[in-house]
């Protein structure tokens, strides 16, 4: 059994978890310990960020096509094109896929800027992508569409926004190295 001041006891004066320790816990190099401390200086590998951004653009475009196939073809809801245009629709399918790809590239540029210029860039990026997606999801509800078309359009936008946000957040973690 551990004594109250053994090295393995949570009440040891040397323990960082000691409730009444007279010595502050320090991270490496004498900096005070914090929940968000990580050793080293962050260094952005821009090539990795942009390669991930380009791949995210491709995935976002394909996600738009798959979402449209599901909503139009499987569920039979006419979104982004008249019903007579079938599951693949008309030119709006390509425009939506292209728009998703461009949105992913714009989001990559925003993420690049946030990493270089702001504290906690991932938090700001998540908020910006979430709010931009919310605007697009709510937009169909301001138009004269059927309820099914409103819900189908909103679903397509939320899937594209979630794809871009989640992939680029992961890309950023891989593109920032601690030295």
Question: What are the residue ranges spanned by the domains of the chain?
Answer: 46-178
Higher pLDDT, 39 or 106: 106
Per-residue pLDDT reduced to its tens digit, 103-116: 999 999 999 999 99
Question: Does residue 13 contact residue 7 with C-beta atoms inside 8 Å?
Answer: no
CA distance 1 to 49: 51
Indicate the pTM of the whole model.
0.72
Dump pLDDT digits (tens) for 97-151.
Answer: 999 999 999 999 999 999 999 999 999 999 999 999 999 999 999 988 889 999 9
């Amino acid at each position: 059994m551990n004594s109250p001041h053994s090295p393995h006891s949570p009440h040891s004066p040397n323990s960082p978890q000691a409730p009444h320790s007279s010595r502050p816990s320090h991270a490496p190099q004498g900096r005070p310990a914090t929940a968000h401390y990580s050793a080293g200086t962050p260094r952005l590998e821009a090539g990795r960020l942009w390669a991930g951004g380009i791949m995210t653009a491709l995935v976002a475009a394909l996600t738009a096509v798959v979402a449209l196939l599901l909503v139009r073809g499987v569920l039979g809801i006419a979104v982004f094109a008249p019903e007579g245009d079938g599951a693949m629709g008309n030119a709006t399918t390509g425009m939506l896929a292209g728009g998703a790809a461009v949105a992913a590239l714009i989001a990559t540029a925003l993420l690049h800027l946030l990493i270089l210029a702001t504290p906690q860039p991932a938090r700001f990026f998540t908020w910006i992508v979430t709010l931009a997606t919310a605007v697009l999801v709510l937009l169909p509800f301001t138009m004269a569409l059927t309820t099914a078309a409103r819900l189908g359009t909103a679903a397509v936008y939320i899937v594209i926004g979630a794809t871009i946000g989640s992939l680029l957040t992961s890309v950023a973690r891989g593109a920032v190295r601690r030295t």
